[in-house]
C-alpha cells in the first residue's frame, strides 16, 4: 500500500510548536501506524488493554472527530492520556478537540492536550433513525476506509483557525435534520428555538437557514463548504466555488431571471412590511 493511497491506521507524531502548522513538517510526522498483532479493537474499551500492552501507554483513551470534508464524525483517535512528559501534539490537540474523552458528548471537554503520538482510524458511516421511515438506517454517505497523508494535513490546517467543537455541533445538527422535510410543522413550532443535542445547542434558524443550504451542483452543505456563495444575479442559487457554478450554468440560466424577479418581489415585500411596522411603532 503506498502513501498516496492512504492508510487504514495513521500515526500522527507530535510536531514542535512552531512547525505544527507547517504542511511539510506535518507530512513528515504522518506515517502508517505499526500495529499490535491482531490490530486495534474498534471499541475504545476493548482497545485499552491492547494499547497498554503493545505501546506501553498508561491511560489509553479515545477521541471522535471530523476530517475536513466529512458530513459525519469519521475519525476515531487513540492516544495516551496518562503521558505527561512527551511533547504536546499541538496539531492533534487542536484539530480533534470536538468532544470529551472516548467520544463522550455533553459537559465540557475533559482533556487538556494530546501528548506524544496518536493513532487515527476512519469510523464507519453511522446509522440514524430515519425521519421518513422511522427505522434505523445507514446514512447515505460514502465510506473511505483509507486516510491519506494529504487528507490529514488538510484536516489539521482546516482546524488551525476553527473551533473544532463548534464545527462538530454544526455538522451534527445538519446531519440530524437532513431528511426532515422543511415544510414539516415541527419547523414552524421550533423556528425560534434551539437545536439541542448532548454535545451542545445551536439556534434552529441557523440550522435550517444558512447551515441547510447546499451547493446547487455538488450538494455540499454549507457546514462543510463553510461559505457557499450565491449567484449574484438571482441571489437564490448557492455554490461552493467557481467550478460548480460554471458547471451548473447551462441549467441555471433557464431559471435565473425568474428567480431574480421572485427575489426582488420578496425583498420589496419585506421592506414594505418593515416600513409599515416602523409607522405603527411611531
Ligand atoms: Zn459544489
Ligand atoms: Zn442566478
- Could you give the CA distance from residue 40 to residue 50 in angstroms, rounded to a whole number? 7
Chain-centre distance for alpha carbon 208 = 17
- The ligand minimizing its distance to the Cα of 217 is 1
In sequence order, the 6+-apart residues with CB closer than 8 A to the CB of 124 are 143
Q: pLDDT per position in the chain (282 positions), as tens?
A: 555 689 999 999 999 888 999 999 999 999 999 999 999 999 999 999 999 999 999 999 999 999 999 999 999 999 999 999 999 999 999 999 999 999 898 778 999 999 999 999 999 999 998 888 889 999 989 999 999 999 999 999 999 999 999 999 999 988 888 877 777 776 666 656 777 777 788 888 788 788 888 999 998 889 888 889 999 999 989 999 999 999 999 999 999 999 999 888 888 888 877 666 555 444
- What is the 3 CA–ligand 1 centroid distance (Å)? 27
**pLDDT for the residue 2:** 58
- What is the 238 CA–ligand 1 centroid distance (Å)? 9
- The ligand minimizing its distance to the Cα of 214 is 1
**Domain boundaries along the sequence of the chain:** 9-165, 216-282
**pLDDT for the residue 282:** 42
- The ligand minimizing its distance to the Cα of 221 is 1
- What is the 222 CA–ligand 1 centroid distance (Å)? 10
- What is the 70 CA–ligand 2 centroid distance (Å)? 28
**pLDDT for the residue 267:** 84
- What is the 194 CA–ligand 1 centroid distance (Å)? 28
- What is the 234 CA–ligand 2 centroid distance (Å)? 4
**Residue 147 main-chain phi, psi, to 5 deg:** -110, 125
- What is the 227 CA–ligand 1 centroid distance (Å)? 11
- The ligand minimizing its distance to the Cα of 229 is 1
User: What pTM was computed for the model?
Assistant: 0.85
Single out the residue of 160, 176, 131 nearest to residue 68, CA to CA. 160
**pLDDT for the residue 192:** 65
Contact of 12 with 31, CB cutoff 8 Å: no
- What is the 237 CA–ligand 2 centroid distance (Å)? 6
User: Largest Cα–Cα distance in the chain?
Assistant: 77
- What is the 257 CA–ligand 2 centroid distance (Å)? 7
- The ligand minimizing its distance to the Cα of 247 is 1
- What is the 100 CA–ligand 1 centroid distance (Å)? 32
- What is the 267 CA–ligand 1 centroid distance (Å)? 26
- Could you give the CA distance from residue 166 to residue 159 in angstroms, rounded to a whole number? 11
- What is the 69 CA–ligand 2 centroid distance (Å)? 26
**pLDDT for the residue 281:** 45
The three-state DSSP-derived secondary structure of the chain is CCCCCCECEEEECCCCHHHCCCHHHHHHCEEECCCCCCCCCCCHHHHHHHHHHHHCCCCEEEEEECCCCCCCCCEEEEEECCCCCCCECHHHHHHCCCCCHHHCCCCCCCCCCCECCEEEEECCCCEEECCCCCCEEECCCCCCCCECHHHHHHHHHHHHCCCHHHHHHHHHHHHHCCCCCCCCHHHHHHCCCEEEECCEEEEHHHHHCCCCCECCCCCCEHHHHCCCEECCCCCCCEECCHHHHHHHHHHHHHHHHHHHHHHHHHHHHHHHHHHHHHHHHC
- The ligand minimizing its distance to the Cα of 219 is 1
- The ligand minimizing its distance to the Cα of 231 is 2
Contact of 90 with 14, CB cutoff 8 Å: yes
Amino acid at each position: 500500500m503506498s502513501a498516496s493511497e492512504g492508510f487504514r491506521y495513521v500515526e500522527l507524531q507530535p510536531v514542535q510548536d512552531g512547525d505544527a502548522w507547517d504542511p511539510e513538517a506535518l507530512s513528515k510526522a504522518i506515517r502508517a501506524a505499526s500495529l499490535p498483532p491482531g490490530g486495534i479493537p474498534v471499541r475504545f474499551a476493548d482497545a485499552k488493554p491492547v494499547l497498554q500492552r503493545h505501546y506501553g501507554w498508561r491511560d489509553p483513551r479515545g477521541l471522535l472527530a471530523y476530517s475536513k470534508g466529512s458530513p459525519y464524525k469519521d475519525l476515531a483517535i487513540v492516544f495516551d492520556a496518562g503521558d505527561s512528559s512527551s511533547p504536546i501534539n499541538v496539531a492533534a490537540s487542536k484539530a480533534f478537540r470536538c468532544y470529551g474523552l472516548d467520544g463522550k458528548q455533553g459537559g465540557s471537554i475533559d482533556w487538556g492536550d494530546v501528548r506524544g503520538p496518536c493513532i487515527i482510524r476512519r469510523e464507519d458511516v453511522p446509522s440514524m433513525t430515519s425521519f421518513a421511515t422511522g427505522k434505523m438506517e445507514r446514512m447515505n454517505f460514502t465510506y473511505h476506509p483509507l486516510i491519506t497523508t494529504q487528507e490529514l494535513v488538510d484536516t489539521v490546517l482546516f482546524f488551525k483557525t476553527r473551533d473544532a467543537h463548534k464545527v462538530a455541533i454544526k455538522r451534527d445538527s445538519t446531519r440530524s435534520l437532513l431528511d426532515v422535510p422543511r415544510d414539516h410543522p415541527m419547523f414552524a413550532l421550533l423556528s425560534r428555538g434551539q437545536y439541542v443535542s448532548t454535545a451542545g445547542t445551536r439556534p434552529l434558524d441557523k440550522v435550517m437557514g444558512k447551515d441547510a443550504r447546499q451547493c446547487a451542483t455538488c450538494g455540499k452543505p454549507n457546514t462543510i463548504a463553510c461559505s457557499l456563495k450565491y449567484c449574484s444575479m438571482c441571489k437564490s442559487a448557492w455554490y461552493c466555488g467557481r467550478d460548480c457554478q460554471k458547471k451548473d450554468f447551462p441549467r441555471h440560466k433557464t431559471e435565473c431571471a425568474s428567480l431574480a424577479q421572485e427575489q426582488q418581489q420578496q425583498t420589496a415585500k419585506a421592506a414594505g412590511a418593515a416600513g409599515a411596522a416602523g409607522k405603527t411603532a411611531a
